[in-house]
Structure 1
Amino acid sequence: MPAGGAATGTGTAAGTAGVPGAPAEGREWSLDELAEAYAYPATAAPAGGAAWLRANMVSSLDGAAQHDGRSQPISSAADMRIFGTLRGLADVVVVGAETVRLEGYRPARARDAFAARRAAAGQGPAPAVAVVSASLDLDFSLPLFTAPLVPTLLLTGAAAPADRVGRAREAGVEVVVAGDGAGAEPARIVAELAARGLTRQLTEGGPRLLGQFVAAGVLDELCLTVSPTLTAGDAQRIAGGPSMAVPARFALASLLEEDGFLFTRYRRKG
């Protein structure tokens, strides 16, 4: 499930040079400081033309990605601030259909704090939302599909149910075929979005979709909030699906801390 947030005056920072240092007591890091810290690589800009896929997730200390089916109980106000920053930098937010249903997804909104930065980067006022679904079992009358600031995309496979594809298109939703079977394929998702100029990509899960990106070797960066909570139970981890034959190794790019929450950023080695 998605993560987000920012450290306040009690926080500390470590990692790469782009990460802001601890601010004065009682002051939050500004959105500009966070935007610099979490900036996409220059190669992901339109001139570079290379897609960069980052994930934003939250996990409890015992590995739960949610509690009672939602990420909010293990998140925090600080976490949601980075969540907003990452959305403010992205061209597109990629999310699985189950997460859309569970989290009550709405269209991404334009934020004045990021308007000038987005305009200078050649971006629209808000990121598009791209929903990944094989069954297309979605309510196309929801605001996510009927009233987005930027048109919502629906990524599926060539063998998706024809009646559901038809309903989506009747509702004005652009259906993108990104796989030869029933569902979209991870590498094709990245490539299809990049072909539309959406190279700065952000996925907010859920665990099954993130697991597919990891297994396909197309995830470039993981922004993981470690929540100082314990949940027990049998909640999902941040990534699901089949295990990899060899674990993928990522390197720590930056680390922020606030109120016991750790805001980590890892990049794929090589």
Structure 2
Amino acid sequence: MTDRTAASGPGGGPPPAPGDAGDAARDREWSLAELARAYAYPEPAPDGPRPWLRANMVSTLDGAAQHDGRSQPISTATDMRIFGTLRGLADVVVVGAQTVRMEGYRPARARAEFAGPREAAGQGPAPAVAVVSAGLDLDFSLPLFTSPLVPTLVLTGAAAAPDRVAAARRAGARVVVAGDGTGVDPARAVRALAGLGHTRLLTEGGPRLLGQFVAAGVLDELCLTISPMLTAGDAQRITGGPSVAVPHRFALASLLEEEGFLFARYRRP
């Protein structure tokens, strides 16, 4: 893996590992510790941590976020290492109900490589998973709800069907109200999670949920894997839903490359 950018402030590009000498030496498999430094969340402000919402998505050259309804076919092993690193750094993984159904989501697992840093940061053994769902049309018998290492959260609206709310709670999920109607307000969801102590937020989509975060102006960072593939067809982009009135411009924080795959980080200026 080659670093195509220099370090750029807190959470920017990673420094070379000891013994490295230029791009040729950096063109190798990075350790999880190096990836964790490269993707570190910003340091807390003097007045305390504020929520930082980053997204992790993959896209083909022609803009497809999925192939045959799933992201795995356009991913790569290194993309999955970064995926695991981002989870290892996060307090909570926020995901839409449709993505849970399509991708077969399972609970986040504890990883020995991140045990020490997570304990030092005051984090639990693994991030919680927070599922955003208006209708709560979820299979609460899945391991995501019945046997997570950290209780799964369900973000929904105040007008959600009481029987579905009860079903979620019976399964062991914690229901968090983040909207006045049946739907979830993105900004309120971020505040609600921060109120539970989850300030290092990671969303893995899907496209509609990410589009809602973008439209609400609460996305701080986008980690985007650009896959050197062309799929054509009518697959979704990484964001869905209505367009914003004025495009949101982000700044490039770091860029890594391996075998034609680009691993970019863009941050709110």
The TM-score, its normalising length taken from structure 1, stands at: 0.92
**Aligned-pair distance for 1:171?**
1.7
Cα distance between partner residues in 1 of 2:220 and 2:78: 24
Helix, strand or coil at the partner of 1:94: strand
- The answer to whether the 8 A contact 1:44-1:199 is kept is no
Q: Report the counterpart of residue 30 of structure 1 in structure 2.
A: 31
In structure 1, the residue matched to 2:136 is 136
Kindly provide the CA deviation profile for residues 1-30 of structure 1, in whole angstroms up to 9, marking residues without a partner as x: xxxxxx3xxx34314244244473784111
Q: How does 1:171-250 map to 2 (within 5 A)?
A: 171-250=171-250
CA contact (8 A) 1:12 1:258 kept: no
Flag structure 2 segments of 5+ consecutive residues without an equivalent: 17-22
Q: 1:84: Cα distance to partner?
A: 0.4
Give the equivalent residue in structure 1 for 2:44: 43
Aligned residues: 259
Equivalent position SS for 2:4: strand
The range that moved more, 19-28 or 142-151, is 19-28
TM-score by length of 2: 0.93
- Indicate if the aligned counterparts of 1:44 and 1:51 stay in contact, CA closer than 8 A: no
* More moved, 15-24 vs 51-60: 15-24
* 1:124, distance to aligned residue in structure 2 (A): 0.6
| CA offsets 1:149-190 (integer angstroms, 9 cap, x no match) | 000000000111121111111222111000001111100110
What letter is aligned with 2:39?
Y
Give 1:127's aligned residue: 127
Match of 1:3 in 2: none
Q: Which residue of 1 aligns with 2:4?
A: 13
Counterpart in the other structure of 1:63: 63
After superposition, give the CA deviation of every residue in 1:206-246 in whole Å (9 maximum; x if it has no partner). 00000000000000000000000000000000000000010
Distance 2:145 2:203 in 1: 18
CA distance in 1, matches of 2:26, 2:224: 25
Indicate the residue corresponding to 2:20 in structure 1: none
User: Percent of aligned pairs with the same residue?
Assistant: 76
Q: CA RMSD in A?
A: 1.5
- 1:16 alignment partner AA: A
Residue number in structure 2 paired with 1:81: 81
8 Å CA contact 1:118, 1:125 repeated in 2: yes
Helix, strand or coil at the partner of 1:119: helix
Contact 1:55–1:204 under 8 Å retained in 2:
yes
Structure 1, unaligned runs of 5 or more:
1-6
Deviations 1:73-120 (A, max 9, x none): 110001101000000000000000000010000000000001111111
Structure 1 segments, 4+ long, off by >6 Å, are none
Distance, in Å, in 2 between the alignment partners of 1:57 and 1:229 is: 15
CA offset digits 1:22-65 (Å, max 9, x no partner): 473784111111101100001279x7220000000000000000
Distance 1:147 1:165 in 2: 18
